[in-house]
Structure 1
Amino acid sequence: MAAGPSVILHTNAPAVAMKVLRDRHPGLSVYPCDSYAGLAALIDETKAEIVYSVRFDGTARFPRSALLESPTVKWVSVGGSGTDHLGHWNPEKVTVTNAAGVAADVMAEYALGAMLSFSLGLRNFARYQRERTWVAGTVEPIQGKTLLLLGLGRTGQALARRAKALGLTTLGVRAHPRPTDHVDEVHGIEDLPGLWVRADFIACCVPLLEATRGLIGTAAFAEMKPTAVLIDVSRGGVVDETALLSALDGGRIKGAALDVFSTEPLPKDHPIWSYENVIVTPHCSSVYDGWEKEALRMFADNLSRFLRGEPLENVVDPVRGY
């Protein structure tokens, strides 16, 4: 007979999740759920205390009430790093953890790849190739440029480490400034008005909070260099998309690489699709072969702590959002 709490694996890859968890915790009652609609009924049926959950079908339909209003669920383990899809929760009633760091390196590589694409003009050369046109061109070195990192969590720090190896100056912004490896200057968010103009590249790596919603808006774009490139791997809503379109139309920035949007999937009629100086990707900068196995291993480790009565790791503060 299974002992211990009932666990639900709420993911679109339940077979993988079941195997990882059963290998580590063979004695537990574990139930798969691969839909948003079926989660509430399964929690009620199993009286689950623990739910590992992945936001696999967008935010709008995510069954947050099933998790946060359940009388039995004590712990929600988010398979990614962002928790804004949960909104606010009562930490005295339910503990929320995340898998912060599981994709930090690949997200840093995505951001670095976008920076190199713009500095080397790869999108222009790709267009010339499609047109079979030999156009003389030049490339621009990335060395000596300045990178502004909004957010110095694990992704921001992973990008800072790579940027310093390539000879960039790194400026960082975090809620509580303190010296950070591979970051030349660390500032508070209140210093941003004087930092926009210094940046050649701006990498947005912050969670979506009330304090960060619309953080990059009209005032920010007005201060940026016309040669600046914005890279957004945070959450839709941190960048004011209307202000971004206006900045692109007015030539106030060089371009952008966007992996997140206010509405996902990005509507087919959204104007951002048509901009040649914008890289659009489908919220995939954190998705790589094996990412969920790694996230599940982190969950399994935390589950061992839970069963031993030890403090959990990666507990998220609902006010700070991380």
Structure 2
Amino acid sequence: MTGRPSIIVHSDKPEPALAVLAESHPDLQVAACDSYGGLAEMIADTGAEIVYSVRFSGTPLFPRRALLESSTVRWVSVGGSGTDHLLPWDPSKVTVTNAAGVAADMMAEYALGAMLSFSLGLPGFARDQRARRWTAGRVEPIEGRTLLILGLGRTGQAVARRAKAMGMVTLGARARPGPTPNVDEVHRIGDMPELWARADFIVCCVPLLETTRGLVDRQAFSAMKPTAVLIDVSRGGVVEEAALVEALEARRLRGAALDVFATEPLPADHPLWGYDNVIITPHCSSVYDGWDVKSVRMFAENLARYRRGEPLENVVDPTRGY
């Protein structure tokens, strides 16, 4: 650690981050890299000690090795919450932090909106409107319905808070169960076989780890109510997409709202595009005006701690994913 560490902002839109850092740490020289391919060379040229990094062009080509095999990088500050694109790393050589919570409220609103879309039947009404067809419509309350939340980090807790305000019954699963605000029952991830059948809505907001990869699989879909709705704001890979397609084809599921996929962008020939009861969004449940500025301000505050020799906040344990 140095009093004036060398820093790289790794983002396709680095200007907001550069502006915040110029205001909060005016004595530091901060370089910007707006490509995946140029990061290794910039680290070598600058001897960067810290990299603030946003995954802006997907995971497959992300320059993970440039960050984790560098002889100078000591701290990688991830601009979002997910860190699966960096796994695995040695925490004795490099510290990884994230911006957990920067989008928790927005993602919770996305989940609530998806639940309301299905309970109110909005996709069906939209189809009737386009056809200029007046029907005998009906809507359903979500009050009294049971919500199962997979993952009770900041996003999961934000979902639970909104669900309780709507009068829902809330079940939650997390790696280390314990009393959690606004959650009626907290279970272990290993208890999932007993929980699937109880849920009217299921919201996935767990990190992608070996323990959560394929968590929502064929057995899970077989155990769910045929009236259940799946909402996924976690990471592609938590839900087995082939199993989801099978469940949709067999009408073992009312529908799904999906913001994350195993391959992004979702290929144009993927069968999920073809279902009227599936809402597809382009990994944007955490993207809102100002999220990038909020994230880099969190980094700037952590950078001040770093320069004072204080412990960093939001340090990620690679074995836990948070």
With normalisation by structure 2, the TM-score equals 0.99
For 2:275 and 2:84, the matched residues in 1 are separated by: 28
Give the structure 2 partner of residue 307 of structure 1. 307
Give the structure 2 partner of residue 175 of structure 1. 175
- Calculate the aligned-residue CA RMSD, in Å: 0.9
Give the structure 2 partner of residue 236 of structure 1. 236
Equivalences for residues 15-34 of structure 1 within 5 A = 15-34=15-34
For 2:242 and 2:209, the matched residues in 1 are separated by: 19
% identical equivalent positions: 71
**Structure 1 residue 122 corresponds to structure 2 residue 160:** no
Deviation at 1:163, TM superposition (A): 0.3
| Structure 1 residues not aligned, in runs of 5+ | none
For 2:106 and 2:16, the matched residues in 1 are separated by: 21
Q: Is the 8 A contact 1:258 1:278 kept in 2?
A: yes
CA-to-partner distance for each residue in 1:42-101, whole Å, 9 max, x for gaps? 000000000000000000000000000000000000000000011200001000000000
Q: Is the 8 A contact 1:99 1:298 kept in 2?
A: yes
For 1:159 and 1:177, the matched residues in 2 are separated by: 17
4+ aligned runs moved over 2 Å, structure 1: none
Q: Is the 8 A contact 1:119 1:140 kept in 2?
A: yes
SS in 1 for 2:299: helix
CA-to-partner distance for each residue in 1:264-301, whole Å, 9 max, x for gaps? 01111111011000000000000000001000000000
For 2:191 and 2:3, the matched residues in 1 are separated by: 53
Deviation at 1:135, TM superposition (A): 1.2
**Structure 1 residue 13 corresponds to structure 2 residue 13:** yes
Give the structure 1 partner of residue 81 of structure 2. 81
| Structure 2 residues not aligned, in runs of 5+ | none
For 2:14 and 2:295, the matched residues in 1 are separated by: 13
With normalisation by structure 1, the TM-score equals 0.99
2:16 partner amino acid:
V
SS in 2 for 1:172: strand
CA-to-partner distance for each residue in 1:217-249, whole Å, 9 max, x for gaps? 000000000000000000000000000000000
Q: Is the 8 A contact 2:232 2:257 kept in 1?
A: yes
Q: Is the 8 A contact 1:5 1:28 kept in 2?
A: yes
Q: Is the 8 A contact 2:171 2:186 kept in 1?
A: yes
For 1:189 and 1:76, the matched residues in 2 are separated by: 29
State the number of aligned residues.
Answer: 321
Give the structure 2 partner of residue 135 of structure 1. 135
Q: Is the 8 A contact 1:151 1:172 kept in 2?
A: yes
For 1:105 and 1:189, the matched residues in 2 are separated by: 23
Q: Is the 8 A contact 1:203 1:230 kept in 2?
A: yes
